[in-house]
Structure formats: structure tokens, C-alpha cells
Structure 1
Amino acid sequence: MFSLLVGHAAMALHFAFLSFVVLGGFWAWRWPRVWWVHLGVAVYALGIVIVDWPCALTEIENWSRVRTGRAVMEAGFLDHYLTGTLYPREHVLTSRVVVGVIVAVSWAGALWRARGRRRGCAVAGQGASAGSVRSR
């Protein structure tokens, strides 16, 4: 029972990780410090896909599958759960490009908002100092 729960938790964390890879940059629009976390997660995800780095969650889920008598995920999480379900097998590259574009747009928006905040703070700071000079 414990092995099955660990496997299901790893699967749920996989989906959460993947969701954060795709959409986490948009969180940085509201919370700019999240961008640094998202950068690390995105680089790790890119390494898994491009360089074929091992994924700890896949290893945990496969451990659970072996312990519970289920077949292991030979090709990994994405191929097992998403390829052929969320997008056709022949569009793997297209799906990766779409994810890359979404991440790039989210980062561009985060940068744009961060620059706007800095300009707003600079303008507000000038206004505050000008107001304090006038009151003297």
C-alpha cells in the first residue's frame, strides 16, 4: 500500500512540476522572485528533454511500479501519460516548441512588468522627495 501511495504521489508531483514548467513564469508577473525558481525548474526540465538527464520523479514512480507489479515507464513520464493523449505522437516537437513559446512569453511579460515596477518606484520616489522638499 505504501509503495502505491508513493507512486501516486510521484505522479501527482510530476503533473504539478510540468504545470509549473509551462505556467510558472506567469506567477512571476505577480511574484517576481518566483522567476528564479522557475528558471531553475525550466533549465532542469530542458535538460531532461534535451540532454536526457534522469528525472527523480520518474525513478520514484518506476520504483513504485516495480514494487506493485505494474509495468515501468520505459520512455518516461511525458511519453507514458501525455504523448498520444494530450497531443499526437507525431507532434512531439511541436508540443515542445509550444511549451518553449509559452515560457518565453511568460518571461518576457515578467521582465516587462518588473521594469514597469522599477520605473513606477523611481517616479514615486522622485515625487515623494519633491513633496518633502516643498513641505520644508
Structure 2
Amino acid sequence: MKVIDVKDLVKYYGKNKALDSISLNVNQGDFYGFVGPNGAGKSTLIKVLLNFIFKKSGQADVFGMDSQKNSVDIKRITSYVPSDVRYYPNYNCYDLCKLTLELNGLKDDGYLEHIIKELNIDPKKKFSELSLGNRK
């Protein structure tokens, strides 16, 4: 099964071509990493796949679904951690995690306390005081 199926994907930022007819197939069970210099299009490709930005042309499917037409369904079954994590810096860890669960329609059921304990995080610590890895 193709998890990602990209054909002739093109994306411009103004006059700058960020993606130039990219084609890529990732099958279930495959592991891929995007490697390249700044401006190569790594983040742009991921953002197109998740419909955070729009492509100029081409096709981008995730789990057999069109990335633009089915973006809500795709976001329900995928996760994305940006390199620059910006949440509410004055929230403490517990409140921010609880808000994230609620916004995603999930119930706590003790999971939040389990994660905080596993990561050895002070639940009263401000989110902005966490290391980059813990913020992600």
C-alpha cells in the first residue's frame, strides 16, 4: 500500500520554485528521510502533504487520499512536529497538554499523568522553560 504518492508536484513562493516536479512513492513499512540544504523543499513537501500550504500543480496523496480534498481525514491519522515549536509559552506543561487533548477531542483517562511521569517533566513548569526535545 502506498502511504505517500506524489506525482509531478510543483510549488512556488512568489517567483521562486520551491518544488520542481517532485515525484515520490513511500510504501507502508518504508522509512524515508528528507535530506538537503536550506531551501531544498523538505519542509515545503511535508506542508503540501498535510495541506498547510497549497501546491501549484501535481498530485499529492496520503494513504490513498488527496491531500487537499481529504486534509481533515489525513490530519486525523497523521502527526506533524515542526522544527519550530510555538505554543502558549506562559501555559504550564499540564494545562497545555490538557488543552491539546481537548482540542483533539480526546479524554485524559490518566494518559496525561502517565506521559508527564514518563518524560520526567514538572507539570507546573512553563512550557517555554522546557528543552526543545520535550517541547516537541
TM over 0.5: no
Kindly name which structure, 1 or 2, has the bigger radius of gyration based on alpha carbons: 1
TM-score interval, smaller chain: under 0.3
User: RCO greater where, 1 or 2, for CA within 8 Å and sep 6 or more?
Assistant: 1
More helix by share: 1
Normalised by the length of structure 2, the TM-score is: 0.22
TM-score normalised over the length of structure 1 = 0.22
Which structure carries more strand by proportion?
Answer: 2
